[in-house]
Amino acid sequence: MGKILYFSLEHHYALWAQKEKNLSQPVAVLHQGQVWDMSLELSPGLRRGMGEREARQAYPEAAWVPLASLYGQPYREKVMEAAYRFSPQLEPEGDGAAYLALGAGEEPAAMALSLGRLLVPSLAPRVRMGVGPNLWVAHLAAQEAKEELEGNILYRRVPAEEKASFLAPLPVRVLEKVAEGVAGRLERVGLATLGEVAAVPLGELRQLLGKEALAVYGYSRGEDGRPLRPGWPIPMVIRFIRLDPPLEHLEKVPPLLDRLAREAARELEGKGQGGREASLLVESAGSLYYARRTASRLFHGEALAPLLHRLWVGEIWPSLAREGKGWSIARLQVEVGPLQARGRSQASLWTREKGKDAGAVWMSLREKYPHLRWGTQAAPREWREERLSYWDPFRFS
């Protein structure tokens, strides 16, 4: 793999909220009673995850916008379209971050500066950019970026021969992106930095971390064999219902969500594909409300209906009630993507095509009943988590 550039926008949700709501004062974006994002001028006193009450006391003059009332898809598209100009080898990560593959003759700093000028300040107050020999090192380089190419365009490049010295002083908490919970286990035995972890033999790490040991062993040394997976434009399944006249009785919304879920599931089944992300868009009283979840595994229909109800009841309905504009729902829209081909183990067990395929049957049984032993497959170590993740892939998102 050649050089990889990773960029990550900062405080972009707050900027998007200012533009979407035509606000002049600083903005704090809220999600489930906590601060999700804030304007750059509020960042000294607010932090992500701070409780809403504490945040309001600190900055009573700020505007407070629920995340579900912010439809960021148009801004996300502008971000990715700007990055796509520089490389078609583009792998998006969330709303404001992506990996790009750099050509052999391209100067990373010049490319980062040109891209940064398209992103700052029109789409974000600040952007961090990192260049490295693989995805992992580029991501960490962006996190540690301190050099200002221009204004709030922060940059760091880590050549392949310098990755060991770059990674060595970093705290083990960065490994939480690799495997949740490993940082705490490493700190309890006195391992505080990646350099210290890299010095531990793999056998000892296996005794401490179990199945996560191999990944931690490699990432602590800057080894990442993952290929960059181009994913723009994002392949999606989109189903929607326009309501004329607008719907004013909320008890009629759940049946419409079930209908959209069935239609999207049929389209996924026909394509032989599944998705990692699902979202619900509601247009009411001239405003758009948007909520999205990422699944822990590829899903293909069964989990979609309960997820839509959860997004409606838990996020969009409270936002509608908070803004007090009344109920006048003109459109419901479901989006599933990015799409990926489903493996045989994710195919329906009882379809005519797959029902006679012994391999598909065995794989489906292993998928549906992971706590049992099928052939030579060993039982998973964390049975409860495996079961919950199967029946509800959005549980741990």
Per-residue pLDDT tens over the stretch 97-110: 999 999 888 899 99
pLDDT of residue 213: 92
Give the pLDDT of residue 138.
97
Q: In which residue ranges of the chain is pLDDT below 50?
A: 344-357, 375-381, 383, 387, 391, 395-397
Position 347 scores a pLDDT of 43
pLDDT at site 364: 57
pLDDT at 392: 52
CA atoms within 13 A on the CB side of 300: 20
pTM of the model: 0.75
Percent of the chain at pLDDT > 90 equals 57
Q: What local confidence, expressed as pLDDT, does residue 173 receive?
A: 95
- DSSP summary character for residue 316: I
Run of H or E residues at 320: helix 317-323
Q: What is the Cα–Cα distance from 362 to 375, expressed in whole angstroms? A: 9
For residue 292, the SS3 value is strand
- Taken in order of first residue, the domains within the chain and their CATH numbers are 1-167 (3.30.70.270), 168-220 (1.10.150), 237-342 (3.30.1490.100), 345-391 (no CATH)
Judge residue 154's burial from the number of C-beta atoms within 10 Å of its C-beta, 0-12 exposed, 13-18 middle, 19 or more buried.
buried
- Give the residue carrying structure tokens 């490699």: 218
Rounded Cα gap, residues 252 and 230, in angstroms: 40
Q: What is the pLDDT of residue 380?
A: 42
Predicted confidence (pLDDT) per residue in 159-210, tens digit: 999 999 999 999 999 999 888 889 999 999 999 999 999 999 999 999 999 8
pLDDT at 354: 39
Question: What is the reported pLDDT for 239?
Answer: 93
The 10s digit of each residue's pLDDT in 367-377 is 555 555 554 44
Residue 271, helix vs strand vs coil: helix
Beta partners for residue 332, in sequence order:
241, 282
